[in-house]
């Protein structure tokens, strides 16, 4: 396991899967500027690793993330505070633009900023006891770390307005029903289920995963003709690859494919 930066994030490399973890368990992984910087560096390192096919985002200890560190947030409202406000958006962008699919394990709690931290991930696995939602309107502000833009794209505008404007937590089973999360499991199984989800992805061709993710991420931002052209272009990139040939040969020979990412 590798520590990153100040040691508030770690990377565990596991045969095609990289586990990126928030490493501040004594504070329920509440996010400070240093922790967010470390997580950003961790995702940049993983993104550069050619042998990584899928990523998990986890929290060390019993809680995924309690949100933003309250001491940091109190300092933010001071008139002379010098808090770097771009750190969180940069972290979310690093997760969102990662070439590999990212699976987050939401264990016990992910309120406010922690909720927003999960939104750029591709898949969300949650414990059935988790407190999960954007509560900022009950704190005198509103969620402006991306929730007002990403959440409607995930669950539709009406449901997003309900969550943001009431500031209420969403029950994990309801989150599953509306497509916000992809699996609900027992609280103590969250990290293992997130790893298992990522391992399923690792069985597939890494170049296919990466190009499919690029095409899908563009779908809601791109007019249909341009989106279809992007899809065709990304498909053509794989025509002469080993993995494309290997996938069909393995199917014809009734065996498991041996993808190499090339």
Q: Catalytic site residue 136?
A: yes
Burial class of residue 41 in the structure, from the number of CB atoms within 10 Å of its CB (0-12 exposed, 13-18 middle, 19+ buried): middle
Q: Which one of 90, 96, 136, 253 is the catalytic residue? A: 136
For the question of residue 186 being annotated catalytic, the response is no
Catalytic, out of 78, 84, 116, 203 = 116
Kind of pairing between the strands at 2-4 and 9-14 = antiparallel
Dihedral class, residue 112 (left if φ above 0, else alpha if ψ from -120 to 50, else beta): left
Query: Tokens in use for 41?
Result: 């560096």
Query: Exposed, middle or buried by CB within 10 Å (0-12, 13-18, 19+), for 261?
Result: middle
Positions annotated as catalytic residues are: 116, 136
């Amino acid at each position: 396991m590798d520590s990153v930066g100040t040691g508030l994030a770690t990377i565990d490399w596991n045969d095609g899967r990289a586990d990126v973890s928030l490493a501040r368990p004594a504070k329920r992984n509440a996010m400070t500027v240093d922790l967010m910087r470390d997580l950003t560096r961790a995702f940049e390192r993983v993104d550069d690793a050619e042998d990584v096919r899928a990523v998990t985002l986890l929290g060390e200890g019993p809680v995924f993330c309690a949100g933003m560190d309250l001491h940091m947030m109190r300092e933010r409202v001071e008139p002379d505070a010098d808090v770097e406000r771009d750190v969180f958006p940069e972290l979310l962008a690093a997760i969102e633009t990662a070439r590999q699919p990212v699976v987050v394990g939401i264990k016990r709690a992910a309120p406010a900023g922690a909720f927003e931290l999960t939104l750029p991930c591709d898949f969300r696995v949650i414990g059935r006891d988790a407190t999960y939602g954007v509560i900022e309107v009950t704190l005198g502000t509103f969620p402006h770390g991306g929730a007002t833009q990403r959440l409607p794209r995930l669950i539709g505008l009406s449901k997003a307005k309900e969550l943001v404007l009431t500031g209420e937590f969403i029950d994990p089973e309801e989150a599953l029903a509306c497509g916000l999360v992809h699996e609900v499991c027992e609280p103590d199984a969250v990290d293992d289920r997130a790893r298992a989800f990522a391992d399923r992805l690792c069985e597939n061709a890494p170049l296919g995963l990466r190009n499919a993710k690029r095409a899908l991420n563009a779908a809601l931002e791109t007019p249909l003709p341009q989106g279809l052209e992007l899809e065709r272009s990304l498909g053509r990139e794989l025509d002469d690859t080993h993995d494309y040939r290997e996938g069909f040969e393995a199917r014809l020979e009734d065996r498991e494919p041996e993808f190499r990412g090339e």
